[in-house]
Amino acid sequence: MSTNYDVLLEQAQAITAGEPDLIANLSNLSALVYHELADVNWVGFYLLRAPELLVLGPFQGKVACLRIPFSRGVCGAAARSQKTQLVHDVHEFADHIACDAASNSEVVVPIIVNGQVVAVFDLDSPSIGRFSQADADGLSRLGRFIESLNWQQLC
């Protein structure tokens, strides 16, 4: 179940090239990753919309939580720490927010522009232990690319 993150990054760059609209790009990136990674049931973004509050953005998967404060869950932990969160089993994460009971593991990458979190990139899997450190590293590289998009539209 190994993913070639170099190829995924090239695909991300290709589908966003020349497109200035952030929401269009985040929508396509959600779809790309959702369909390219095996064994995921949710891929998307939560966007900073108020101080220390993330609001649902473009995604692929089932209906999701609408608002996540920085103080709660894996997404909140990524936003607070400004570090990628790799969770082997979400049921062992003390403050996990269960938007979809089918999710069992998670990776969340903070998207940071000018030193501030502007969003998080969230991936869930129905399998415990689905994501490895290699996945977290590859998705963090993709996150660094996502930071280069046109975030001025939201900031």
CB-based burial, 41-63: b 16+ in 10 Å, e otherwise: bbbbbbbbeeeebbebbbbbbee
Each residue of 34-77: pLDDT tens digit?
999 999 999 999 999 999 999 999 999 999 999 999 999 999 99
Distance CA 4, CA 25 (A): 21
Q: Are 123 and 131 in contact (CB under 8 A)?
A: yes
Mean pLDDT along residues 96-109: 84
What does the pLDDT read at residue 1? 58
* pLDDT of 155: 57
CA distance 56 to 128: 24
- What integer pLDDT is reported at residue 93 of this predicted model? 84
In whole angstroms, what is the distance from residue 128 CA to residue 131 CA? 8
Is residue 100's pLDDT more than 80? no
pLDDT at 105: 96
Pick the CATH number of 5-153 from 1.10.3720.10, 3.20.20.80, 3.40.50.1400, 3.30.450.40: 3.30.450.40
The arithmetic mean of pLDDT across residues 101-129, rounded, is 95
Calculate what percentage of the chain has a pLDDT beyond 70: 97
Residue with the larger pLDDT of the pair 15 and 102: 15
Amino acid in position 58: P
Round the average pLDDT of the chain to a whole number and report it.
94
Name the amino acid, one letter, at 97.
I
What's residue 43's pLDDT? 98
Q: Locate the domains of the chain by residue range.
A: 5-153
